[in-house]
Chain A
Amino acid sequence: MKESLTLSALLAKLRQYLVPIVVAVVIGASFVLVGIPSVQSSLRLRKEVQAAQAELDLIEDKVASLEGVRESDMRAKLDIVEVALPSEKPVFSAISSVQIQAEQAGVTVTGFDFSPGSLATGSAQSQANSVTQVEEALPGQLAEMPMKIDIEGSYEVVTNYLDLLQRTTPLLAVTGLDLSLSSQEEALFSIGVEMVAYYSLPPEEITAPTEPLPPLDVASPTFSLLSSFDTAADLEIQPGSGQDKQNPFSF
């Protein structure tokens, strides 16, 4: 009788605490199984969303920048810089420019030393001063094509020629001068002008989608400066007759 009373009291007590025990177990299990992973994944997702949003913003900015570009204006400016800094080795245009400027300045061209090397690739070879240089042009970087021209003229005419070379395209830079007096009576100088013609192969790849576009000053005074330079672009190569040359030993 006493035993059954104790058992029923125990059951009653257990019934009394059954709900809180179940609730505690549910909360505990749920916290471990759902709560903690949810909080962890929420934090991770929040970071991912922030990173993805930042990435999307960058891409959208880039698209907006590109959509804002005035294509016709860009093409015109590209034509100017392409003449000044060609994407290929400027063999013909460089020879034409230095000779046209020589005629304009009134100097006499007495010689020419020019070994541009392979035309299809970016390498340039010069044998100026009997030193062979081979320069590999890398995409998007400045490349030089060495050349040497021997001229003769008075001091004024020669300095005028040097000045004209500074204002011609493709862009040239005088790297050395070999000077000698060829005629004492007529005060004529004989000068070997060593120079390089610059060119640049186009950049190989476009930038990554998230990489912002480099700033471009469309109003740069360089455009007007370069367009004011003399160019040999007007001197066009005359097309051939289309027939094979019959005699290779005559003009």
Chain B
Amino acid sequence: MTTSSNINLLTQRRQVTKRLRRQNQKVVSMSVLALAIYLAIMVPIVGYRLFLSQRLKSIASDKAETLQTLTSLKSVEERYLLLENKLSLSDQVLAERPDSKETLTTVIGLIPEGVVVTSLDFGADNVLTMSGDANEVFAFGELIRSLEGSVEQGLYPKVVLESLNRDDEGLYRFSVELHSESEIIPTNAGSGV
């Protein structure tokens, strides 16, 4: 009876031990798996970081080499920039400078009998200031009509009579602004012809 009971206890104990060992193995396996998963994640991250560090060093080295090449091309760059700068400025001058011959011809064409032009000033923003004398008021009236015609034709979209006065000799001295482009904001100030 005692022997049988002992055998039963031993068997039971063996079973418990076996179960415990299996349980232990399971826990260890799970731990190892967790560690493996963690390492599987971390190793590429650390590796990627090292790769990036190396890549940055490689780029820095390439950059230093390229900068050296660029320095050796400094004189070419200077000439290139000089050419580009002068070309763009030349284009600007050619596009913006007034055509004095054409302007003179046009203005002379607008001047009626009894009126003489004494000065033409080619100002900025396509504004031409014309000064002159009219020997009588009717001649000045003719000039006004002629300038009004130029506005209607669109030759000078805006004409502003800057000043008009009569001197001791009876000459009517005038100054007129001829705007090639109607860029000026309309205003009641001044006298639009």
Whether B73 and A42, one on each chain, are in contact in the complex, defined by CB atoms closer than 8 angstroms, is no
B11 interface residue per 8 A CB criterion? no
For B94, list chain A residues within 8 Å (CB). 171, 222, 225
Give the number of chain B interface residues (Cβ < 8 Å). 63
How far, in angstroms, from A58 to B27 measured CA to CA in the complex? 56
A19 to B32, CA, bound (A): 9
B106 to chain A, nearest CB (A): 11
Q: Which residues on A are within 8 Å of B, measured CB to CB? A: 12, 16-17, 19-20, 22-24, 26-27, 30-31, 34-35, 38-39, 41-42, 45-46, 48-49, 52-53, 55-56, 59-60, 62-63, 66-67, 69, 71, 74-75, 77-78, 81-82, 84-85, 87, 140-142, 155, 158-160, 162-163, 165-166, 171, 173-181, 198, 200, 202-203, 206-207, 209, 213-217, 220, 222-223, 225-226
Contact B70 A176 (CB under 8 A): no
The complex places the Cα of A17 from the Cα of B56 at a distance, in Å, of: 44
B-chain residues with CB within 8 Å of residue A180 when the two chains form the complex: 118
A–B pairs, 30, beta carbons within 8 Å: A12-B20, A17-B27, A19-B31, A20-B34, A23-B35, A27-B34, A39-B45, A42-B48, A56-B59, A59-B66, A60-B66, A66-B70, A69-B76, A75-B79, A78-B79, A81-B86, A81-B90, A163-B101, A166-B100, A171-B94, A174-B100, A174-B122, A176-B119, A177-B119, A178-B118, A200-B85, A213-B84, A214-B81, A216-B87, A222-B87
Chain A residue nearest to B82 in the complex (CB): A202
CB–CB B62/A56 < 8 A: yes
Report if B83 contacts A (CB, 8 A).
yes
- Are B59's CB and A179's CB within 8 A? no
CA distance A74 to B78 in the complex (A): 11
B86 close to A200 (CB less than 8 A): yes
Determine whether B157 belongs to the interface, using a CB cutoff of 8 Å to chain A: no
Q: How far is the CA of A53 from the CA of B66 in the complex (A)?
A: 12
Q: Nearest B residue to A52 by beta-carbon distance?
A: B59
A220 to chain B, nearest CB (A): 6
Q: Which of A48, A158, A177 contacts B120 (CB 8 A)?
A: A177
A78 to B121, CA, bound (A): 33
Decide if A42 touches B49 in the complex (CB within 8 Å).
yes
